[in-house]
Amino acid sequence: MGVLVSGQGTNLRALVRASEDPAYPARVVAVGANRVGCPALEAARQLGIPAQAFPISANSGSAVIRDSSLAAWLLQQGCELLVLAGYDRILTAPLIDAFPERILNIHNSLLPSFAGTMRAVEEALEYGVKITGCTVHLVDAKRVDGGPIVLQAAVRVEDDDTPNSLLERIHQEEWRILPEAVGLVASGRLRVEGRVVRSVHR
């Protein structure tokens, strides 16, 4: 798998930990980022994983050109599955077409609530919900955060929560369900029927 990152790389580390198990059906072979100074890139390099930044400024200011270069590089690294692990850019056609129905995204809300925003945790607190969480879904070119849902995990909102305290508990669940979802896809154990994703026991 290739992993796209924008931040600290905690979900990347969770995927690497999972892949250390010989029985796990996927390995991280490339890490791409949209920011040169992204800490997750350095984490990948320290782990010996090929890592490269693809800033839009180095690609004629075009997301399409950037994604075309990124897709070509990922395929050269042998990626068959793409995971968005805290990647804060919307994918364009070159990337989506390179990995049809093989792109997973982790979002820090219970979709479809608080979709299409990088402020999902803050918005959940502002709205006053009592339960939030995280969602792993397949990327759909038609809707941001709108693809078929693979896995979700619920997190209770406490009265004294801040965005940071709530996000910390959500992260704990992200680190669990993202590797699980990748394992399901990589092992061919998912069947998509319209919007419904079913786990197939083999």
Three state DSSP letters for 150-179: EEEEEEECCCCCCHHHHHHHHHHHHHHHHH
For residues 76 and 18, membership in a common domain is answered with yes
For residues 40 and 111, membership in a common domain is answered with no
State the pLDDT at residue 200. Answer: 82
Tens digits of residue pLDDT in 170-188: 999 999 999 999 999 999 9
State the pLDDT at residue 175. Answer: 97
Q: Which of 66, 100, 134 is the last residue of a domain?
A: 100
Residue 142: give the domain boundaries: 106-202
User: Chain-centre distance of CA 75, in angstroms?
Assistant: 18
Q: Which of 85, 100, 115 is the last residue of a domain?
A: 100
Residue 140 tokens read as 């759909």
State the pLDDT at residue 201. Answer: 72
State the pLDDT at residue 202. Answer: 59
171 is catalytic: no
Which entry of 107, 137, 171, 201 is annotated as an active-site residue?
107
Domains identified in the chain, total number: 2
What pairing do the DSSP bridges indicate for beta strands 82-84 and 103-107? parallel
Angle at 123 between CA 39 and CA 167, to 5 degrees: 40
Query: 124 near 101, Cβ under 8 Å?
Result: no
Q: Which of 100, 115, 149 is the last residue of a domain?
A: 100
For residues 47 and 84, membership in a common domain is answered with yes
For residues 118 and 152, membership in a common domain is answered with yes
For residues 73 and 117, membership in a common domain is answered with no
For residues 22 and 36, membership in a common domain is answered with yes
For residues 74 and 126, membership in a common domain is answered with no
For residues 55 and 127, membership in a common domain is answered with no
Helix 10-19, helix 39-46: angle, nearest 10: 20
pLDDT of 49 strictly over 90: yes
Tens digits of residue pLDDT in 51-99: 999 999 999 999 999 999 999 999 999 999 999 999 999 999 999 999 9
CA distance 160 to 181: 31
Query: 82 near 102, Cβ under 8 Å?
Result: yes
Tens digits of residue pLDDT in 138-169: 998 888 999 999 999 999 999 999 999 999 99
For residues 17 and 55, membership in a common domain is answered with yes
DSSP state of 6: S
- Identify which of 92, 127, 120, 125 has the alpha carbon closest to the alpha carbon of residue 106: 120
Sheet of 149-156: strand order equals 51-53, 30-33, 2-5, 82-84, 103-107, 131-138, 149-156
For residues 192 and 115, membership in a common domain is answered with yes
> Residue 32 belongs to a domain with what CATH number?
3.40.50.170
Angle at 85 between CA 81 and CA 90, to 5 degrees: 85
- Identify which of 169, 178, 150 has the alpha carbon closest to the alpha carbon of residue 24: 178
Which residue spans within the chain are E strands per DSSP? Answer: 2-5, 30-33, 51-53, 82-84, 103-107, 131-138, 149-156, 190-193, 196-199
3-state secondary structure at position 193: strand
